[in-house]
Amino acid sequence: MEIPPVVIDRLPLYTRALSALESEAREVVSSQELGTRLGVTPAQIRKDLSYFGRFGKQGRGYNVHKLLDELQRILGLDRQWRMALVGVGKLGRAILGYEGFTPQGFRIVQAFDTDPKRVGEQLNGLTVKSADELESALSANPVDVGIVAVPAEIAQSVINTLVKCGVRAILNYAPIAAQVPRGVHLKRIEPVLALQSMTYYLKNSRGPA
Amino acid sequence: MEIPPVVIDRLPLYTRALSALESEAREVVSSQELGTRLGVTPAQIRKDLSYFGRFGKQGRGYNVHKLLDELQRILGLDRQWRMALVGVGKLGRAILGYEGFTPQGFRIVQAFDTDPKRVGEQLNGLTVKSADELESALSANPVDVGIVAVPAEIAQSVINTLVKCGVRAILNYAPIAAQVPRGVHLKRIEPVLALQSMTYYLKNSRGPA
């Protein structure tokens, strides 16, 4: 069964909320409460989870630990994912220093740059390699995810190389609508583009609604 | 006329590509070439732009400078936008240091934190204020955009306060599906959630597609 991408996008939020509940030593949670925590209707939660089988009993709520376990397994969060970062400029360094990845099982294990001045540099325990070596380095040490933090002009070509190396999940920080072949997944993370599409609405309304 | 949000989301990408063309001293661009640069079909570009009037002549392409000017005006990118950052932990500091905002007209003019140890600190020329002062500080010096970089547990309450202060555009870095009333715009920027929804697909496929 093909599960709608919007459902998959919501599952990580469910695991966050369930982790929080687990750390509060909660054993059971209703779809009502989970919904309130997440800003999603209880009906939506029940429908989303129904794609993956039967969780919880009518009127009894969900077993926090079991549901969390199951969702982590479904999402592949019960294992470690290896990532390669391309681009170690200001943004790339912030990404390398970001502490949110490791606790969630995502680890940057290789770093590359196109600038010869940066190649050889030691950053967070990694030696920066030349982007020219992407293919050989990734065939010797494959990764699951590529993080692209290079300037817009070269982002598509870096993405093409990553795809050629067998990388099938890409986190793109460059401000382009990058293209990837079917079977490769790409998410764009770019704060300025997000801001720029909101200012349209600010400009076109008067005062708080 | 109500313009579809997906169209608005694409416009900033058009302005990026047009800026690049302008800096290459290009005067005219076809929807074909613009499409290739952006990974969008020429028909899509023509359709998107048709919401805003008539640009370019059949078979002549678009005047780069005029189209850029017009899109910047439409998106409100011809002015400065004032932003308040809430949360100056590791992530908030990276946001404060991000150099991509200012050249695009977005400036962080106030910074807040809930941790008393951080209040009073000088960061990037700003004095960190207590989050308790949000309402008074923002009523004295209103901002257009709120950036939320606080832990998940308090993110919704910070967002509620920002909304109460009249902020109508929020960039949320906290991993929650935050709720805002109608008329307030919110975009979520969170790399780990993006990764976690891609691993579902990695886990459920075998080898490069």
pLDDT in tens, B135-158: 999 999 999 999 999 988 899 999
Can you give the pLDDT at residue A152? Answer: 85
Q: Taking CB atoms and an 8 Å limit, are A100 and B81 in contact across chains?
A: no
Instruction: Return the pLDDT at B148.
Output: 97
Distant-in-sequence, close-in-space partners of A180: CB < 8 Å, separation ≥ 6: A159, A163, A170, A186
DSSP state of B113: E
Among the partner residues A20, A144, A182, nearest to B209 by beta-carbon distance: A182
A120 touches chain B (CB under 8 A): no
**Would you call A30 helix, strand, or coil by DSSP?**
coil
Residue B57, pLDDT > 90, answer: no
Q: Which residue of A has its CA nearest to B172?
A: A191
Q: Which two tokens stand for residue A62?
A: 């969900």
Q: Could you say which DSSP state residue A102 is in?
A: G
Q: Tell whether A145 is within 8 A of chain B (Cβ).
A: yes
Measure CB to CB from residue A76 to each of B99, B169, B203 and give the nearest one: B203
Tallying the residues shown for chain A, one arrives at: 209
Confidence band, pLDDT 50/70/90 cuts, at residue B54:
confident
Q: Which residues of B touch A199 (CB under 8 A)?
A: 75-77, 81, 144, 169
Residues in B closer than 8 angstroms to A205, CB to CB, are 168, 183
pTM, two decimals, is 0.79
Whether the per-residue pLDDT at B209 is higher than 60: the answer is: no
Which residue in A78, A1, A6, A2 sits closest to A48, CA to CA? A6
pLDDT for position B205: 67
Residue B130 clears pLDDT 90, i.e. is over it: yes
The residue among B170 and B192 whose pLDDT is bigger is B170
Range B80-103 average pLDDT: 90
- The pLDDT of residue A176 is 81
* Helix count and strand count (H, E) for chain A: 8, 10
Q: Given CB atoms, is A28 within the 8 Å cutoff of chain B?
A: no
pLDDT value, residue B99: 80
Say how far apart CA A198 and CA A196 lie, in whole Å: 5
Q: What digits encode the pLDDT tens for the residues B184-207?
A: 999 988 888 888 888 888 877 654
Q: Are B52 and B73 in contact (CB under 8 A)?
A: no
Which of B117 and B204 is assigned the larger pLDDT? B117
The pLDDT of residue A6 is: 83
Kindly state the tokens that stand for B156: 């919704």
For chain A, list residues with pLDDT below 70. 1, 56-58, 205-209
Instruction: Assess B58–A contact: CB distance below 8 Å, yes or no.
Output: no
Task: Give pLDDT tens digits for B15-53.
Answer: 988 998 999 999 999 999 988 888 788 898 999 999 988
Sign of CA dihedral B100, B102, B103, B105: positive
